Amino acid sequence: MDLDWKNLGFKIIKTDFNVRSVFKDGKWGDLEVSSEEYFPIHIGATCLHYGQESFEGLKAFTGADGQIRLFRHGENAKRMIRSARGILMAEVPEELFMDAVEKVILLNKKYVPPYGTGASLYIRPLLIGTGPEVGVRPAKEYTFLVFVMPVGPYFKAGFKPVEMLIVRDHDRAAPLGTGHLKVGGNYAASMSSIAEAHKKGFATSMYLDAREKKYIDECGPANFFGIKNNTFITPKSPSILPSITNQSLQVIARNMGMKVEIRPVPVEELAEFEEVGACGTAAVITPFSKVVDEEKDISYSFGDPQTPGPVTTRLYETLVGIQNGDLEDSFGWTKILD
């Protein structure tokens, strides 16, 4: 495959195949393989009108041994079930989800970036209400599909510190809303504030809790973490997406002898952290060199703007090492596909 693996960025690249299954008459149909990027949809489909949709994001990697490793796809399957329950869609059984993901990777094997390029294969499962309804009620028909593309880092710089903008005039999710689910509406709600942050030169926006604007919530498409006193600290909030990367880092941090705290994180605590960053499948670990709270006229700075902090670097190297097989997968997180 002739691709510039080291400069892929994070964007749609056409690959050869996607896989699909349709839920109709109360049951899921067989997985079908397609090479079409489009599919016809009823103009009254609930995904188009009422946002009945959920997506996932996960990655596969090539190791030094040439084998393809898939990271924790069972966790994504479970999360998509929670999202489906949350907005009353048909649930994709874990086994169907995992089969579909494995199949689509093997069908597009030549697009899994080679070892050492820093790139990976991004897998995007999607569940949408395809049955038509004009009243606000759940569809009777759904389509589950999975497509893939090779990607580089989500934030242009890769594993380099970025600057974040705290948003106070906008919420991504309501306290009792859908922020904890991976549903499209949350991302629609975040677009204008993310665009605003980009316009001002920041990597993305940092949201505070919608009720009191006192605590750190989400960081664009990723969770927040802070490091101080040998402790990994990450927000507890009903409106953030439970990140599989974050959960993995908590295990790694404990394994490194660190403490882990999951609790509300007051925004002023930024002044006390030694290192801070965001974590997620696309973002991997993205360290912050600066967080700006424009409205309060405060700016928090962290370490050398060019170099990630030592703890963040160890966490990153351990996570990525397990993902690409350089380190032993002692937690049983990866599945080798052949």
Q: What residues make contact with ligand PLP under the rule CB under 6 A?
A: 57, 218, 221-223, 241, 243-246, 280-281
57: contact with ligand COI by CB under 6 A: yes
The 8-class DSSP code of residue 91 comes to P
Q: Which of 69, 79, 80 has its CA nearest to residue 105?
A: 69
Query: Of 217 and 293, which CB lies nearer to ligand COI in the complex structure?
Result: 217
Give me the 204-233 binding string for ligand COI, x by CB under 6 A, dash otherwise.
-----------------x------------
The residue to which tokens 């989400």 are assigned = 218
At its nearest, how many Å lie between ligand PLP and the CB of residue 179? 8
User: Which of 267, 282, 311, 319 is close enough to bind ligand COI by CB under 6 A?
Assistant: 282
- Residue 148 neighbours by CB under 8 Å, 6+ apart: 15, 18, 104, 105, 108, 111, 121, 122, 123, 124
DSSP single-letter state for residue 267: G
3-state class (DSSP) for residue 110: helix
- Residue nearest to ligand COI as judged by C-beta position: 57
Nearer to ligand COI, 20 or 59 (CB): 59
Give yes or no for residue 185 binding ligand COI (CB under 6 A): no
Number of residues that bind ligand COI (CB under 6 A): 5
- DSSP class of residue 248 equals H
Going by the DSSP 8-state scheme, the letter that residue 184 receives in this structure is H
Kind and range of the H or E element at 68? strand 68-71
In three-state secondary structure terms, 153 is coil
Positions marked catalytic:
182
Residues in contact with ligand COI, shown as a per-residue x/- string from 111 to 150 under the rule CB under 6 A: ----------------------------------------
Phi then psi dihedrals of residue 64, to 5 deg = -60, -25
| CA separation for the pair 290, 305 (Å, rounded) | 8
Q: Which is nearer to ligand PLP, 90 or 222 (CB)?
A: 222
Smallest gap from residue 322 Cβ to ligand COI (A) = 17
Cβ proximity to ligand PLP, 218 vs 275, nearer residue: 218
Dist CA 220 CA 79 (whole Å): 19
Contact residues: ligand COI, CB under 6 A: 57, 221, 280-282
